[in-house]
Amino acid sequence: MKTGKLDIKGNTLGLFHSSEIKDFTLNISLNAFRLAHQASMTVFNMVKGFGDDFVDQSGIDLSNSNNYFYHSGSYFYEPSFTGGGIDGLTKLMLHFDNNIFDAADGKNVSLINTTFSNTVSKFGGYSIELNGSTSNIAVDDSNDFYWGTSDFTVDFWVYMIDIPIPPPFFGQFQDEQHLQYFYWWVDGRIYFFSSINAYVGGFQFSCASTLVTGAWNHVALVREGVTNWYIFINGISQPLTLDTTFPGGYDFSLPNFSAPFEIMSGPGQQNALHGYVDEFRVSKGIARWTSDFAVPTSAYSFAYADNMKLVSLQKPALTVPTQARLVLFEEDIDVITLNTDLNAYVSRDNGITFTKVILNIESNSLTSDNILSGLVDLSSQPSGTQMVYKIETANGKHLRLYGISLTWN
């Protein structure tokens, strides 16, 4: 029978058949993860083992790990990035290349009355077209859209056929008193507006619009620090005007709205863009531009630093282990060859001597989520009771790790 989805702190790790998982120690690890998740544990100890569902970084030896990026909102590790347009601070990346796949974080995106155009596109041969009235692009709510006082950048390409109704470029609408939008208005200006408690607390600023119809425009909204804001149109910083008539004073700390993140339309498909959108990116924790810049000349792509190494903190065993099992909850982003692009090791002498674990796919879903495990003989290692695992990626491959357990006997 199917056991359903194994979920580690909100990260779905796929459907699997319990009949396929015959190893007793592997089932112990899976059940321990379930219990730990329900109890909101971080690193959890078993009688002869431990598990880490990456709800924080407390189980990783950060001083001996390198080239990793930890996603604190989604609880996973992936290789760090050295450049390119998609890095660890990219929280949403929609290429709209005939699909709605979020290349940065896999967020759920829904479409209403939109089409993919292969006649008008900026990059990749496709863009997404909105009809100017009933179209909508909505991304499920996430803490990645809660910017608080952090730096952030939202940038995109937009092609307007005409502007019969002022379109929101993006925003969140919780209710009439709690909302936030970046939008074009009939007065020919572009506004960023945030409001809580019926406009008591919030702010609004704007710039004159230099957007043109019938052509692609690159637009970026950037914040550096709490009060340094920028609007760039085609790489040129626009002079900003703060709305001094905004009631209740100014609160530049952005609220956490409970609402979908909507792109190029308002709530309930209001004021949808009449035109096309391409390369829509949200970055949290970085102000990507603070002065004029040359606009991108190609689609954003991944770029990684050296291959990732994750080393666990040591956990004591009561007696000298002779065998260990490692279980990984992993998601392929690139095509991954096990034990070549992804390698695992276990040590019983506090990380001095490691033995490679031969990983196998125990179960996978219809997507790219995998449960990986392997047994390793430790009897040839120097005697010891300080258990450590090490995970290494190779060949610049992109994957994500959502949790790991190590058991021994």
pLDDT reported for residue 13: 41
Which string of DSSP letters, residue by residue, matches 242-254?
Answer: E-TT-TT----SB
pLDDT score recorded for residue 301: 87
Q: Which helix (H) or strand (E) holds 8?
A: strand 2-8
Identify the pLDDT of residue 186.
Answer: 82
Residue from 274, 330, 267, 286 nearest 141 by CA: 267
pLDDT of residue 368: 67
Q: Around Cβ 144, how many Cβ atoms within 10 Å?
A: 23
Residue recorded with tokens 């112990």: 28
pLDDT of residue 201: 61
Cα(146)–Cα(231) distance, integer angstroms? 19
- The answer to whether the beta carbons of residues 219 and 122 sit under 8 Å apart is no
Give the start-to-end residue ranges of the domains of the chain. 2-80+306-408, 90-284
Q: Tokens for 254, please give them.
A: 């952005």
What is the CATH superfamily name and number for domain 2-80+306-408? Answer: Galactose-binding domain-like (2.60.120.260)
For β-strands 2-8 and 11-17, DSSP reports them as: antiparallel
The DSSP code for 302 is B
Residue 19 pLDDT: 42
Residue for token pair 């309930």: 268
Radius of gyration of the chain (CA): 24
For 115-129, b/e burial (b = at least 16 CB within 10 A) is: ebbeeebbbeebbbb
- CATH of region 90-284: 2.60.120.200
Other beta carbons within 10 angstroms of residue 349's beta carbon come to: 18
As a whole number of angstroms, the distance between CA 232 and CA 248 comes to 28
CA distances from 223 to 84, 133, 232, 317 (A): 20, 30, 11, 49
pLDDT tens string, the chain, 409 residues long: the values are: 222 333 333 444 443 344 444 455 666 677 777 666 666 667 888 889 999 989 899 999 999 999 998 877 678 898 876 667 888 789 999 999 999 999 988 899 999 999 999 999 999 999 999 999 899 999 999 999 999 988 999 999 999 998 767 778 999 998 877 888 899 888 889 999 888 765 556 788 999 999 999 999 999 999 998 889 999 999 999 999 988 776 666 777 888 999 999 999 887 667 889 999 999 999 998 889 999 999 999 999 876 656 999 999 999 999 999 999 999 999 887 889 999 999 999 999 999 999 999 999 987 554 568 889 999 999 999 999 999 999 999 998 888 899 999 999 9
Q: What are phi and psi of 391, to 5 degrees?
A: -120, 130
Q: Which amino acid is at 219?
A: V
Total residue length of the chain: 409
Among candidates 42, 38, 51, which has minimal Cα distance to 405? 51
Pairing of strands 90-94, 127-131: unpaired
